[in-house]
Amino acid sequence: MCGIVGYAGHRDALPRLASGLSNLEYRGYDSAGVALREGDDVTVYKTVGEVSELRASLPESSEATVGIGHTRWSTHGEPTDTNAHPHTDCTGDVAVVHNGIIDNYDALKEDLEATGHTFASQTDTEVVPHLVEDELADGASAKEAFAAVVERLEGSFALAMVVGDSEEIFLARQDSPLCVGHGDDETFVGSDVTAFLEYAREVTYLENGDVAVVTPDGVTVEHDGEPVERGVEQIEWEADAAEKGGYDHYMLKEIHEQPQALRQTLSGRVDEMQGTVDLDLELPEEYLRSLEEIQIVACGTSYHAGLYAAKLLEEHADVRVTVHVASEYEFKGGRDPWRTLVVAVTQSGETAETLGALRDAARTGARTLAVTNTVGSSVTRTADETLYIRAGPEIGVAATKTFVSQVATLALFAVHVGRQRDALSATEASEILGDVRGLPGAVQQALDADAGVRAVAEEYADSEAFFFIGRRLGHPVALEGALKLKEISYDHAEGFPAGELKHGPLALVTDQTPVLAVLTEGARPDATLNSVKEAESRGAPVIGCHSAGHGEKFIDAAFDIPDLGEMEPLVANVYMQLFAYHVANLKGRAIDKPRNLAKSVTVE
Ligand code: F6R
């Protein structure tokens, strides 16, 4: 996730900005930069790579007492020096840093280019300084110019801007956090408090729709053009806790980030009314219509996301889909390999086996698509095309928010392909998209019920083993639930298609083996209930993740899921993540770095 830092005071801004950037490194980034306002000029230093590299390129000190800085985690455009923030206008007097995504940047950029603006980067952000430049040229003050530009932006953003002839920093927040730290005769800006915690412990949090002006004396905030008071809070956290947003582990923080990750995944891509999606893909309609098969290749959690997506694609796009563990994959594209689309699903974009499978497929003549979280990763350079899941960086080794964002992205892809192939009507597509758009809220409801999940985890943490069952879309979620639990708690956990229980695993079921069941729409809950009864009659406690009317009478502990059609099993997955987390935490495991595991597996 990108990070923002800012400083307005009477001391040298440079060391403060530099240390703020170092403190933001934990968020994950690929490039970094600062803009210093010195005299009436703005000077920008930026580079791809680590903050230490940027720091090495900076002067020892500066005259600047106002500045902004940024750590970038790419969403539009590869990680390069030019794409790093801050971005400037044609005059170089306006510098902007930005977290989030500006959905309408394409149209804005087109207009700006038509009126003579020259763009240096491939980012969405760069439209902002150029728009401000136009407003300033029309006689607006910096504050007026900034506010007018913010009005024109669609999407999610936290923005900070400095201009040559002002000693202020201009801020705007929409769906991406931004806060202001009050120091001793100096004011700081941060995408979170870690950016300035060593200098300021009193903080003002901006709210969605706020536009603010920062000076050494503090911050003034406007909302809908009217001044508002946002109050000041005292920060009690130490830096380590602050990096984790107050959570004990990155994994728990990332579980709780899922609603926000989903909003980013969906941002600007869904037209629910029309039943269409815009994924910015070049796959031509005739190609999608003539497609014979989609082969999904992936490992681990991404493989489970692929299993989920396969069912959606088969159902809604009327195309044959096979899903392959990448290490077991052998491309078979028949006589016309081009008619097979091979989709690599990988959070990191660097998993050796997934890359190997994709290369094999490409060599044999298949068309390839990467679905990844990581801009500029190896998979994006290997595949013909890339679809980003935009979940933000994931630091905990166990994948959590990226799973739900992978499935949501692929659900949009299924709707897109289904519409192009005339397999899905606009009305059917609207319904599916409505469910996908309901995900952030439904996931939030599950997160709000965390205390109940913890209580259930306390009751069953010392069990001999854990079994996870589900059917259809509940099956990949059962596999994923078991994977999460085993990798962070080191307990024996297995996932099965519910119907398979009686074909063998039932021999292991006792009163010491809780069974976690997915009892939702899209997961054939009535059939799964038969398996639940089989387990219960062997004494097993059953923990049901269920939507209304599915199975609450039969289960020992129940987690509620709102009505959300085929997206319901994804909410069950959130309960399973929380359950795994609490079991592991009660056992004192190294949750963010489980033994023997790595975040990115780059060897076969
Ligand atoms: C499990 C987990 C792994 C990864 C797998 C693939 O929590 O994180 O199973 O899902 O190593 O990684 P990516 O998605 O980066 O290819």
Q: What structural domains and CATH numbers belong to the chain?
A: 3-242 (3.60.20.10), 252-437 (3.40.50.10490), 444-586 (3.40.50.10490)
From ligand 1's centre to the CA of 304, what distance in Å? 10
pLDDT at 78: 85
To test the pocket of ligand 1, the residue of 251, 296, 301, 380 to mutate (highest count of ligand atoms within 8 Å of its CB) is 301
- Indicate if 545 belongs to the active site: no
Question: 363 C-alpha to center of ligand 1: Å?
Answer: 25
At position 586, the amino acid (one-letter code) is L
Question: Looking at residue 23, what is its pLDDT?
Answer: 86
The whole-angstrom separation of Cα 433 and Cα 466 is: 34
In the reported structure, the alpha carbon of residue 597 is separated from the centroid of ligand 1 by a whole-number distance in angstroms of 10
Mutation choice for ligand 1 from 251, 348, 378, 577, CB with most ligand atoms inside 8 A: 348
Minimum CA distance residue for ligand 1 atom 16: 346
Of the candidates 417, 419, 440, the residue with the CA atom closest to the CA atom of residue 430: 419
**CA–CA dist 572, 334 (Å, integer):** 38
- How many CB atoms lie under 10 A from the CB of residue 235? 18
pLDDT for residue 153: 96
HSE value, Cβ hemisphere, 13 Å, CA-based, for 51: 24
Q: Which residues of the chain have pLDDT under 70?
A: 1, 239-240, 602-604
Rounded-to-integer distance, Cα 51 and Cα 57, Å: 10
Q: Closest ligand 1 atom, CA of 403?
A: 10
Label residue 415 exposed, middle or buried (CB < 10 Å: 0-12, 13-18, 19+). buried
Amino acid at 203: V
Structure tokens at 238: 């130490």
Taking CA atoms only, the protein residue closest to ligand 1 atom 5 is: 300
Position 15 scores a pLDDT of: 93
E-strand ranges in 479-541 read: 493-497, 515-519
Residue pair 126/149 in contact (Cβ under 8 Å)? The answer is no
- Looking at the CA of residue 299, tell me the nearest atom of ligand 1: 6
Strand 155-163 to 94-102 pairing: antiparallel
Distance (Å) from CA 476 to ligand 1 centroid: 14
Paired tokens of 423 = 């397999």
Task: Say which of 2, 179, 299, 545 is annotated catalytic.
Answer: 2
Residue nearest to atom 10 of ligand 1 (CA): 301
pLDDT value of residue 467: 98
Ligand 1 atom closest to the Cα of residue 303 is 10
Q: Which of 502, 587, 593, 599 is catalytic?
A: 599
Distances in whole angstroms, Cα of residue 437 to Cα of each of 256, 272, 447: 17, 8, 17
Given this model, what pLDDT does residue 604 score? 63
Count Cβ atoms within 10 A of the Cβ of residue 60 and give its class: 0-12 exposed, 13-18 middle, 19 or more buried. exposed
User: How far is Cα 32 from Cα 368, in angstroms, rounded to an integer?
Assistant: 31
Q: Name residues contacting ligand 1 (CB within 6 A).
A: 299-302, 346-348, 351, 354, 398-399, 483, 487, 600-601
| Coil, helix or strand at residue 444 | helix
Q: Looking at ligand 1, which atom is closest to the CA of residue 298?
A: 16
> Closest ligand 1 atom to the C-alpha of 484?
7
Residue closest by Cα to atom 9 of ligand 1: 300
Site to probe by mutation for ligand 1, drawn from 302, 405, 480, 603 as the one with most ligand atoms within 8 Å of Cβ, is: 302
Residue 13: closest CA among 70, 52, 54, 69: 69
What is the CA(251)–ligand 1 centre distance, in A? Answer: 14
3-class DSSP state of 466: strand
Distance CA 189, CA 16 (A): 11
Cα gap 260→275, rounded to integer Å: 23
Is position 332 annotated as part of the catalytic site?
A: no
82 neighbors 121 (Cβ within 8 angstroms):
yes
Taking the centre of ligand 1 as the mean of its atom positions, its distance from the CA of residue 42, in whole angstroms, is 43
* Ligand 1 centroid distance, CA of 269 (Å): 25
- Atom index in ligand 1 nearest the CA of residue 348 equals 15
CA pair distance 436, 567, nearest whole angstrom: 6
Q: Which of 351, 397, 576, 600 to mutate to test the pocket of ligand 1 (most atoms within 8 A of CB)?
A: 351
Ligand 1 geometric centre to CA of 347 (Å):
7
- Ligand 1 centroid to Cα of residue 298, in Å, is 8
Q: Which neighbouring-strand residues pair with 47?
A: 32
Q: Where are the beta strands (DSSP E) in 251-301?
A: 270-271, 276-277, 293-298
Closest Cα to atom 4 of ligand 1:
300
Per-residue confidence (pLDDT) for residue 253, from 0 to 100:
94
Which atom belonging to ligand 1 lies closest to the Cα atom of 599?
8
Q: Whose CA is nearest to atom 3 of ligand 1?
A: 300
Say how far apart CA 361 and CA 374 lie, in whole Å: 21
